[in-house]
Amino acid sequence: MTGETRRPHTGRRRNEAARRAILDVAVELLGGTGDTPVTIDTIAAAAGVGKQTIYRWWPSKGAVLLEAVAERAGADIPVPDTGSLLGDLGGFLRATFRAVGHERTVSVLRHAMAEAQRDPHAGEHMRAFIAGRRAVLRGLLERARDRGEVSPGTDLDLVVDQAYGVLWYRILVGHAPLSATEADALARALTAQVRG
């Protein structure tokens, strides 16, 4: 998969290169065609790592997967500052939907969420990841509220739930696309909702 070049040992300290290889391979396999199963054995083999090196640092397969996914997803989603709620929210959701819109990413996130339901360790990672993303979006909304674009008494957490709820619902059920058009529609709807 990767790791053709010999990876040197690092003695009694954790080998960061091995950690990287494991997480990279995990994401690669999760987003793959599905012909290679996403197994601890396949991850270890593709990363050129012993299974024990995985279990030394992660408590379960789900934990590896979730850490790998959480590290990727959410990175590189800029928080725009256009001066208006509709602009900010639209930009943010477009970027989010675009990042998630790839077939591979949808596959990764679907399986990550599934794993989080079975593996308590994965669930913990998932909750932490979700909380992080929610905080970012809530910050965006709070800025708009401070500008007076949100009617007082609006439950911002509920707005956040609606945005991410629609996203995850579509990821998991697959009944509707996740494109820029949909992102804009959602942004307009939520903006109208909070306008008061």
Q: What residues make contact with a second copy under the rule CB under 8 A?
A: 110-111, 113-118, 123, 126-127, 130-131, 134, 155, 157-159, 161-162, 164-170, 172-176, 182, 185-186, 189-190, 192-193, 196
Query: Could you tell me the smallest distance in angstroms from the CB atom of residue 18 to DNA?
Result: 4
Query: Could you tell me the smallest distance in angstroms from the CB atom of residue 120 to DNA?
Result: 9
Contacting DNA within 52-71 (CB under 7 A):
52-53, 55-57, 60-62
The DSSP letter of residue 7 is P
Please count the other Cβ atoms lying within 10 Å of the Cβ belonging to residue 56: 10
CA distance 1 to 85: 44
| DSSP 3-state of 92 | helix
CA distance 8 to 151: 58
CA distance 44 to 61: 11
Q: How many residues bind DNA (CB under 7 A)?
A: 31
**Binding residues for DNA (CB under 7 A):** 7-15, 18-19, 37-42, 45, 48-53, 55-57, 60-62, 119
